[in-house]
Amino acid sequence: MPRKLSKNLLRTKKLEARVNAIEDEMIKQKALDAGLSIAEFTRRCVLLKPLPRRMSKITLTTYRELARIGNNINQLTRATNTAIKMGLQPPADSGEIEELRKLLQKIGLKLSQIGDEDIDEDDYD
């Protein structure tokens, strides 16, 4: 069941603004780029609230690939732990798996620190 908002938080007021066709398209595109509805985008801009950080195609692709690699490392860890419990030869050295996991975390951290100025505008959706 949806959470009930207090009367002060319930949005009942409507604002209107006239814009030309070009401004309308620009607002729609910026809202789309930010992953927000036009109403939420407008509220955040007018109230000077931060917009979500825009991610480049390269960053999104890299995050997806890192997630796949992380998943593979988790599967390898599981197989290694299962083999050890069963007294079998593990498919990978536990130390090497942990080293891979730490490297993956470092890469993720470095990616999160990349600023938008480091990426060409053509790399964005």
Range of the domain at 22: 18-52
Backbone dihedral angles phi then psi of residue 10, each to the nearest 5 degrees: -70, 125
According to the model, what pLDDT value does residue 52 have? 73
Domain count, the chain: 2
Reported as a pLDDT band with limits 50, 70 and 90, residue 2 is: low
For a pLDDT cut of 70, what percent of the chain falls above it?
86
Token pair for 4? 């009930």
According to the model, what pLDDT value does residue 110 have? 81
Over range 52-56, report the average pLDDT. 71
According to the model, what pLDDT value does residue 115 have? 56
Number of alpha helices (DSSP H) and beta strands (DSSP E) in the chain: 4, 0
pLDDT tens digits, one per residue of 8-32: 788 888 989 999 999 999 999 999 8
Determine, yes or no, domain membership for 4.
no
Shared domain check, 96 and 43:
no
Shared domain check, 118 and 83:
yes
Over range 89-117, report the average pLDDT. 80
CB of 32 within 8 A of CB of 40?
Answer: no
Query: Is the pLDDT score of 125 beyond 70?
Result: no
CA distances for 7 relative to 11, 82, 101, angstroms:
8, 55, 48
For the entire predicted model, the pTM comes to: 0.46
What sign does the CA torsion over 93, 94, 99, 103 have?
A: positive
76: Cα separation from own chain's centroid: 25
Backbone dihedral angles phi then psi of residue 124, each to the nearest 5 degrees: -90, 155
Shared domain check, 75 and 61:
yes
Shared domain check, 92 and 43:
no
According to the model, what pLDDT value does residue 117 have? 46
